[in-house]
Structure 1
Amino acid sequence: MAPPIETPSKIPTSRHSSHPPLNERILSSMNRRSVAAHPWHDLEIGPEAPKIFNCVIEIGKGGKVKYELDKKTGLIKVDRVLYSSVVYPHNYGFIPRTLCEDNDPMDVLIIMQEPVLPGCFLRAKAIGLMPMIDQGEKDDKIIAVCADDPEYRHYNDIKELPPHRLAEIRRFFEDCILSFLNSLQLPIEKIKSQQAEQCAVSLEA
């Protein structure tokens, strides 16, 4: 015989729960020390570096909003909306635990099929470098492919990319980045994957 169905008076309510109310639990958690990891300091560069290294995504492919890492909190903040109709041709982010001359982590443009949400990280492989100068300081951009994307992971050199893809990347930096920063652009050059770390110094813990 089926068990009797409880009447509404017998169904427990939140007042009879052994847990404190939701608002009290939220306030209690806010009073505890945060254990959130900082994507720049705490994320490892990866056990296969410098051949394969981790990258934190700040801006997804096709995006027009420029996000960037807030160094103090570790959150991704909105910097600005791009001034022109240009969008990011590929996912854009940085290599954790690196520090360049401009006091920022090493920037990376990661070529892959799909956009990635800001704040996620992935494994990448360097295939090229966009040398740049920003207000007298080196501000180079690593060109990489996603190491786990079957369409692009076999690329090892930027010269292997289709000419249009290379022109698209160059034009993006000319139209978007350089026009805003008033930087000096140098040609895209070949870079060995081992140079991904050589372009930056290790970030001290």
Structure 2
Amino acid sequence: MRSVIYTASKFSAAFLCSQSSRKSKSFISAAAFHLRKMVHYLTEQRGRPDSTDYRIYFKTSDGKYISPFHDIPLCVADEQILFNMVVEVPRWSNAKLEIATKEPLNPIKQDVKKGKLRYVANIFPHKGYIWNYGALPQTWEDPNHTDKETRCCGDNDPIDVCEISSKVCVPGQVIQVKVLGILALIDEGETDWKVIAINIEDPDASSLNSIEDVRKIKPGYLEATVDWLKKYKVPDGKPENKFAFNGQFKDKDFAIEVIKSTHSFWKALVMRKKMKGDEIVCQNTSLCDSPLKCSDAEASAVVQAAAEYGEPLAVSSEVDKWHFFAK
């Protein structure tokens, strides 16, 4: 096995977090929360990278295994509106890594389609993913809820984040981000929100407080984001993706409302007593009110049953191919 340690400060509660903004009301009263000291998250790799059995499991600094989907709090204690982000894919890389929502403890794994590992194409001039890509824990885009704005149901995943700082992160890293805006991708008829955010440790973080600030300080980045999301499936023979709001970014306050909504859907999800075989796995180790809370021994058994860590497998040279499309 191979482990890596990450650090995150958090402001935690059983399910909800306290947030405030000029236009957004707090999630719930701050009296329901308590401030904890710096928390260290470990990741433990299992299986062989670039193989179908590769997994990245999460645990606390005292060795207790957790779900990055359910046990890492959404919110961070700070004067600003900050969130924990679980990094799935580093900028400039191609492997489509994601939280395995339908596996016990929800490790990060590489997506598989038709028996083959998925890699996103290099669409000139973009090399792999153009941001650090990941998800907000304790959020869920409900596939049974039709969004009043997009008129499409959710995509059954945690809400996605495109993190635009200059630092290249690593899979499984937990960082604190400031939300700047949001884009509504319509992926095969489903709402697939993309939160635009920046790591608070980035030198530009203090200057970036809105989607308009991104236009001024990082000109072209938002346009490149739309272009990438529109075309990234075209090399696989699929049509260009569509967007709600004519592909326009919504502001920070709109984004916060979407996050609040997906957080409430997640809360209802983890309170379900039974899950069907093809549904989201809500096994967790910290949510006392959840009927799906498991013991530390049960969580450890999940990881121990996974394949031992091994050397990475060779990646096909096709992953480095460039694809060109007319504007």
TM-score of the two chains, using structure 1 as the length reference: 0.74
Larger radius of gyration: 1
Q: Does 1:37 align with 2:66?
A: yes
Alignment of 1:44-193 (within 5 A): 44-48=73-77, 51-71=81-101, 72-73=103-104, 74-79=106-111, 80-85=118-123, 86=126, 87-100=128-141, 101-161=154-214, 162-176=218-232, 182=239, 183-185=241-243, 186-193=246-253
User: Contact 1:39–1:96 at 8 Å: present in 2 too?
Assistant: yes
Residue 232 of structure 2 aligns to which amino acid in structure 1? C
Q: Which 10-residue stretch deviates more, 193-202 or 138-147?
A: 193-202
2:260 is the alignment partner of 1:198: yes
Conserved 8 A contact 1:111-1:152? no
Describe the superposition over 1:55-110 as per-residue Cα deviations: whole angstroms up to 9, x where unpaired: 10000011111111112132211121123444111100000000112221010001
Secondary structure at 1:99 match in 2: coil
Give the distance between the partners of 1:52 and 1:170, measured in 2 at CA.
24
User: 1:142 touches 1:196 (CA, 8 Å); kept in 2?
Assistant: no
Change (3 A) 1:65 1:160: same
Q: Distance in 1 between matches of 2:164 and 2:212?
A: 14
Which of 43-52 and 76-85 deviates more? 43-52
Q: Please, which runs of 5 or more residues in structure 2 have no aligned partner?
A: 1-62, 112-117, 142-153, 271-327
Alignment identity in percent? 27
Instruction: Name the CA distance, whole Å, in 1 between partners of 2:219 and 2:178.
Output: 20
Deviating 4+ runs (over 4 angstroms):
177-182
Change in 2 beyond 3 A, CA 1:37/1:118: same
CA displacement, residues 25-81 of structure 1 (integer Å, 9 cap, x when unaligned): xxxxxxxxx941100000011244881000100000111111111121322111211
How much has 1:152 moved relative to structure 2?
3.0
Instruction: Verify the 8 A CA contact 1:178 1:184 in the aligned structure 2.
Output: no
3-state DSSP of counterpart to 1:65: coil
CA root-mean-square deviation: 2.4
Counterpart residue type for residue 118 of structure 1: P
After TM superposition, the score normalised by the length of structure 2 is: 0.48
Native 8 Å contact 1:46 1:52 kept in 2 = yes
> Distance in 2 between the 1:201 and 1:135 partners?
23
Structure 1 CA distance for aligned equivalents of residues 192 and 260 of structure 2: 13
Give the distance between the partners of 2:235 and 2:211, measured in 1 at CA. Answer: 24
Q: In structure 2, how many angstroms separate the alpha carbons of the residues matched to 1:195 and 1:76?
A: 27
